[in-house]
Amino acid sequence: MGDFLTFMAVSLTTLLRGVPLTLQLALLSVVTGGILAFALAFMRLSNRVWLDYPARAYIFVFRGTPLLVQIYLIYYGLGQFTGLRASFLWPFLREAYWCAMLALALNTAAYSAEVVRGGLLSVPSGQIEAARSCGMSHWLTFRRITLPLALRQMLPGYSNEIILMVKSTALASTITVMEVTGLAAKLISQSYRPVEVFVCAGAIYLVINFAVARGFTLLERRFSPERQRPHVQPNQIEESRV
Amino acid sequence: MKPVMMIAAAMAVATALPLHAEEKVLRIATEGAYAPWNFTGPDGKLKGFEIDLAEDLCKRMEVKREIVAQAWDGIIPSLTAGKYDAIMAGMSVTPEREKVIAFSKPYAAGINVLAVAPDSPLADLPGTGETWSLTSQSDQAQKRLDEIRPLLDGKVIGVQGSTTASAFMENTFGDSVELREYKTAEEHNFDLMNSRLDAVLANATVLAEALTKPDMAGAKVTGPMLSGGIFGVIGVGLRKDDSELKQKFDEAVGAAVKDGTVSALSEKWFKVDISPRD
């Protein structure tokens, strides 16, 4: 038992050194992917074929193929082109870290684009028409009415996507990135004790994702002020919105 | 299926079982990505030195064999978990591994060497073409390693994770080189040719095979071939409590080494005899 606990402590301290890298990968790819997702969603909703179809194709490809395959294609595949190796992109693509970040960002963009599109479509047209009839411009309507309502609708779906991304960073270990899972694999190769090490690794992801889930719950509350004041009558809310 | 037929089928299975039990099936794990030791051929079948040797050993032990491919980094835990009975995957006998599993008598010696991409400044490192044992010729080996150390300073070196090559690099050059660990030797060879790596350290027989492939044209072996010490010898990995199987393997391996079967297979697959010498 003493040996078990000491080894658990050793595992935990070793794996915790990978947490900054895991968080960095997740954060950077979620932010980059999020920006790209908005662009893709607007392309999908633009009603212009030359914008809509490229976005559709992108989403189809990146949702339809495994992330692991995308990581391998970007890391090992792109390196095969001599022209690329001579280009200004190579200092980035040479590094496993940037390849992993790129693959994660491109992948999450495809999934998030559909979440964003769903959120934007869920805003009732009556609310938009009301805003327009009050004299708001397209942009003002979007900023004041569509976006806040859409964000609220997106949150539950988007929190799923971020939690999936945190877990997907584990795949970066397959291309030599030493994040939590990479360090776990290394520790197992030295100790041959997979159970203890993987339990620790799992616990670390659990804690990170617990924080993410809690964060989103708080955000959802913030975006739904009426839920915090149950004593307010529904008709009063309607009045305050007008 | 009608009830009568089901009963008939059940009886058929029941009567067939004792017949099968007489012929014990030995499950042997290999990696399947470590040519020419063990690899998957174009037809999807496992091939290589260890596949041939396993066949010979099982004949000597009079058991039926089943060879399965298993990813390297889970190969020991899966043995202790009972997913198979033995490992033949170019696995060196090391003190760390011996804490967890048992090994049969060795059937090969482990020799490791560095390799670099074409036009690398690291080609022709001191000691190229020489072979030194870290055990019996440690002075000469150490002298060469000391000459190589400053040349490798700050370089990115690829190794397969959980191997004696990775342990050796970490112990010997750990603070001066940047070490990258890969799942398979094929993957670090890819990155060597992609110029992501300055050099790789791997088993000499595996590198010799890889260097004959067109996609590694121009890559070179550099520095001394190293044997003994941490690279040690290669044996069949077995569960510690499986002493009966260990005894059988010891006898079979001992006989195969003695009558020249191992040397012949080694010459066939590696073009060089790496059978263990006492």
Average pLDDT value over all residues in chain B: 89
Mean pLDDT of B215-241: 92
**Spatial separation of the C-alpha atoms in residues B169 and A88, rounded to whole Å:** 32
Q: How close is the nearest chain A Cα to the Cα of B216, in Å?
A: 12
State both tokens at B122.
């690291």
Predicted confidence at residue A30, as pLDDT, reads 97
Mean pLDDT of B145-166: 93
Residue of chain A with shortest Cα separation from B97? A192
- Closest in B101, B182, B195 to A176, CB measured: B182
Q: What residues of B are in contact with residue A182 (Cβ under 8 Å)?
A: 181
Q: Which long-range contacts (CB under 8 A, 24 or more apart) does A179-185 make?
A: A179/A18, A179/A21, A179/A22, A179/A25, A180/A15, A180/A18, A180/A19, A180/A21, A180/A22, A180/A204, A180/A205, A181/A18, A182/A18, A182/B181, A183/A14, A183/A15, A183/A17, A183/A18, A184/A11, A184/A15, A184/A18, A185/B73, A185/B161
3 state SS of B213:
coil
Predicted confidence at residue B12, as pLDDT, reads 55
Mean pLDDT of B126-145: 90
- Model pTM score: 0.80
ipTM attached to this prediction: 0.75
pLDDT of B96 > 90? The answer is: no
Mean pLDDT of B186-192: 93
- Please tell me which residue, A119 or B135, carries the higher pLDDT value: A119
Low-confidence ranges of chain A (pLDDT < 70): 1, 227-242
Mean pLDDT of B207-221: 91
Predicted confidence at residue B150, as pLDDT, reads 94
Mean pLDDT of B144-171: 93
Q: What residues of B are in contact with residue A192 (Cβ under 8 Å)?
A: 76-77, 80, 96-97, 99-101
A127-131, A223-227, B91-95, B263-267 — which is least confidently predicted? A223-227
A152 and A198 Cβ atoms separated by less than 8 Å: no
Q: What residues of B are in contact with residue A76 (Cβ under 8 Å)?
A: 187, 190-191, 194
CB environment B39-68: b (16+ within 10 A), e (fewer): bbeeeeebbbbbbbbbebbbebeebebebe
Return the percentage of chain B with pLDDT > 70, whole number: 91
Please report the domains of chain B, with CATH numbers, ordered by start residue.
14-109+233-270 (3.40.190.10), 111-231 (3.40.190.10)
Predicted confidence at residue B20, as pLDDT, reads 47
Predicted confidence at residue B19, as pLDDT, reads 47
3 state SS of A210:
helix
Please report the domains of chain A, with CATH numbers, ordered by start residue.
7-225 (1.10.3720.10)
pLDDT of B1 > 90? The answer is: no
- Closest in A79, A185, A186 to B194, CB measured: A79
B11 confidence band (pLDDT: 50, 70, 90): low
Predicted confidence at residue B14, as pLDDT, reads 53
Predicted confidence at residue A155, as pLDDT, reads 93
- Please judge whether A186 and B161 are an interchain contact, meaning their C-beta atoms are less than 8 angstroms apart: yes
